[in-house]
Amino acid sequence: MKNFSYDFYKESADYILEQISEKPKIAIILGSALGSIADLVENKTIVSYRDVPKLLQSTAPSHKGEFIFGRLSDQPVMLMSGRFHHYEGYSYEELAQPVRIMKLLGVETLIITNAAGAVNLDYEVGDVMLIEDQIKIAGHSPMRGPNIEEFGPRFFDCTYIYTPKLLKLAQAKAKELNYDNSVHTGVYYFCPGPNFETPAEIKAIRILGGDAVGMSTVTEALTAAHCEMDVLGISMITNMAAGIEDEEQSGLHVIDVGNKAASKIADLIMEVLKDI
């Protein structure tokens, strides 16, 4: 297992700091088909992943592979357009990299978005789920290996991995936007992918308490918790999970639905940013 050091992450962060004029306070990780949020950023500076020392490279479809710095709702932000997944061949330890870089850049609040499949039978395609908790049974923790004290303690609490005050704020904003009938609060279940889950697995996930299922987010949220960052998680429901409807699961379908429904999440994020 490769050992990572504080200086490993600092080299990446120092390069980025040379490229930007303002440190971000808030970071947003853009899920599949949610890259259109980047179009709303003002005073934009783009830093390609290819240019950042030591940084992983994104290979997932519809993930551009760039950091975007600027302002949203007059807040200094950075957007991660293109995330990294375990199914791309990266270890869980490597997946801690982007959030640790964000921490060194000055980020205090992390908004994580994703495309997810509905496990909860009350959800519909195009709905949004605000994440109140997560389940990760598969795989190691991204904090496996020697602890880096500059980021956080060896053992850290995950009772409120998704910050309650941010969840309440997002719920209130959804109501103000008249989205409350299509915005739910639930539990995100992590599966490593890249295959979609089987119908039997979806039944098991429902029994275990999962409301939506996806292949990202949990390692990022765990790393943010270790770094003592506030976290808001938002899932776009792009498909009903396997076995719920008589249709095959398709990555292209996920992206297509996400493109059509992304404006709802964009509206919600813009409103939330006003009160952080």
Does residue 164 have a cis bond before it (omega within 30 degrees)?
Answer: no
Does residue 194 have a cis bond before it (omega within 30 degrees)?
Answer: yes
Beta pairing, strands 66-72 & 26-30: unpaired
Host H or E run for residue 208: helix 199-208
Beta pairing, strands 183-190 & 230-240: unpaired
Nearest 5°: the CA angle 241, 244, 245 is 105
Asked if 14 and 239 count as a contact pair (C-beta separation under 8 A), the reply is: no
Asked if 221 and 112 count as a contact pair (C-beta separation under 8 A), the reply is: yes
Active site residues: 32, 63, 85, 87-88, 115, 215-216, 239, 253
Q: How far is CA 103 from CA 30, 33, 71, 238, in A?
A: 17, 25, 18, 30
